Amino acid sequence: MAEGDAADSSRNDDELVCEIFDLIRDIKDPERPNTLEELDVVCEDGIQVQRLRPTTTKTTTTTTLTCSPSSSSSPPGGGGGDAAIHRRATTGADARTACGGSGDDVDDAAAQADPVLIRIAFTPTVPHCSLATLIGLCMRVKLERNLTQRSFKLDIAVMEGTHSLEEDVNKQINDKERVAAAMENPNLREMVEECIKEPDS
């Protein structure tokens, strides 16, 4: 990989991780008036982005966010089930045509067309938290609604060793059938909508 290409890829990945954190940091805890960031449920270091099919190289790279000082956390464990996948119709060639030329704009558009694996590890407030699954569901719903310009696979998991039912929680969060069924429940859907609602200006 050329040095310039590696730098551009790292920059784009860091920007994506920052974008992801900005989307989930203000989600409200289901039981408290605080946000997930305020309760240290989520942090930048708990987010990883891995390119699944780089546009210009054969090398797969993984970037962990370091956009602001934060206590280091171990990467998330593997989540079970089928994660939701969003696909974007625009290809690198389409992006180049839409931009009407070449250069940084085309590179950025191509980078957005690359499918990525997004891993998020979060820390429940207590090891027996009964709402850990709901918190994960809130993050999944908000990210799927807002990252519409990207092709991505999402894997959300509790930080290893932070929940007594870690494996069960991870499976529920990443099973697309369970997620769809949960969002068909009016009461549960209302709770999710309340938690992910944008804070008042």
pLDDT of 71 over the 70 cut: no
pLDDT > 60? residue 179: yes
HEC profile of 35-62? ECCCCCCCCHHHEEEEECCCCCCCCCCE
Averaged pLDDT, 167-177: 94
What is the residue-averaged pLDDT of the chain? 77
Picking from 177, 193, 94, 185, the residue whose alpha carbon sits closest to that of residue 141 is 193
pLDDT digits (tens, 9 = 90+) for 94-128: 433 344 444 454 445 545 567 999 999 999 999 99
Q: Which residue has the higher pLDDT, 145 or 110?
A: 145
Mean pLDDT of 135-164: 94
Query: In this predicted structure, what is the pLDDT of residue 56?
Result: 52
pLDDT tops 50 at residue 79: no
Which residues partner with 48 through β-bridges?
64, 119
Q: What is the pLDDT of residue 44?
A: 96
- Residue 109's pLDDT is 54
Question: Which pTM does this prediction carry?
Answer: 0.68
State the DSSP string of 150-164: S-EEEEEEEPTTS-T
Poorest-pLDDT segment among 43-47, 54-58, 72-76, 141-145? 72-76
Separation CA 1–CA 19 (nearest Å): 25
User: What are the tens digits of pLDDT across the range 181-200?
Assistant: 999 999 999 999 999 998 77
Which of 2-6, 72-76, 99-103: highest mean pLDDT? 2-6
Over residues 64-77, mean pLDDT: 43
pLDDT recorded at residue 11: 78
Q: How far is residue 31 from each of residues 36, 106, 162, measured CA to CA in Å?
A: 11, 44, 18
